[in-house]
Structure 1
Amino acid sequence: MPDILFSLSDPIAIPVQGQDAVYPVGRIFCVGRNYAAHAAEMGHEVDREAPFYFTKSASNAVLTGATVPYPPGTENFHHEMELAIAIGKPVFQATSAQAWDAVFAYGCALDMTRRDLQIRERNKQRPWDLGKDLEAGAVFAPLTLAADWSPKDGTRIFLTVNGQTRQDATLGELIWKIDEIISHLSRFYHLRPGDLILTGTPAGVGPVQAGDQIYGGIDGLDPVQLTLSDAE
């Protein structure tokens, strides 16, 4: 076997409530425009034919409580609060029942976005990677096992910046529900343990600045927190 030129940093692993073992992050899939009010505030109608996705790199994920620098190349850095699904078993072309059975755990997550770059590239019909897949652009709180928590329509999802509420909705506003997302995504990928799916953000996204403290929660799950320091 040939020598390896250099070692890569290991992706993060997320703590799991009540478990000694941690959940290693493999792939990160994100659902776009999955709350109608958020789609409207971004100037779009919801595509109800099927969900659509973008991805984030596992190496760009961090755990809650991190302090990270305001990212380069943007003047309009946005928060997006999301429910994350952690896949626990292999699933492909899943039925609704198989989709639910594949869920290992749930957690709070932040999808941080260089909005100006996302919009610029979208307007040119280019990929969104510069806007979405940035260093420390996915933030994860500890996971809660699916056996101990399940999403309900009335469950609150919210986010504050420096104590001021920015996002406040319920999971009942999700256009594509948990099993629908997993079933649809599994038509295109062999989903496997380590895969995380961010299910979309409600209305109220907006800019954050260096020095801001971001706090997001979903009732019954551990909250997610992020502090922004000055740009490097």
Structure 2
Amino acid sequence: MMKWIIVFVAAVLAVFLGVRLAMRRDDSAQGSALRTNRMVRCAMIAAVYVVLCLALQPFSYGAVQVRLAEALCLLPVFGPEYIVGVTLGCLLANALGSTVIDVVFGTLATLLACLVTYALRNVRVKGLALPASLPPVLFNALIVGWEISVFFSDTPATLPVTLFNMLTVGIGEVISCCILGVLLVRLIETNRELKKLFVEPVKHPAA
């Protein structure tokens, strides 16, 4: 029962934040369409994140995991609405497939990672969003690795145990974010149709 209460409250808060983000003041018809598009993208990414985690549940939870949905953590390079979408998706996936503890710490790690990834959105290495892929690796390794050691380990949370869990979580994040996430961003940036779907058109100032 408590799990579903948390899911409901979190969903309401996330929807509120998403609406506030999407409803940036812009009274033009184009602005109205952009607000709608942001809300749709936010909901779509949250849903995709949850489906990927639950469909690939054996790989999505635990100390040794490759959560493929984490590749979506790179999407904030295309807009702040993806911060809400990915964080909401992570929260719901953890609530449905893990524990309340993971809802708190796992979602916190994803939120912090998405915020820093957004800050690094324009940084590229040989055209690739490699710097933006590092925050999810670091935050999840540190926070989720520590969480597993303290709350889910059968042995005391010694420094070697904690470092081992951080390493295993970090390796999974490298696969999901530094490889798959970077490739996803590159694919979107180089494919005209995907770019129309994921990226807002740049507004040019009136002459």
TM-score normalised according to structure 1 size: 0.27
| More strand per residue | 1
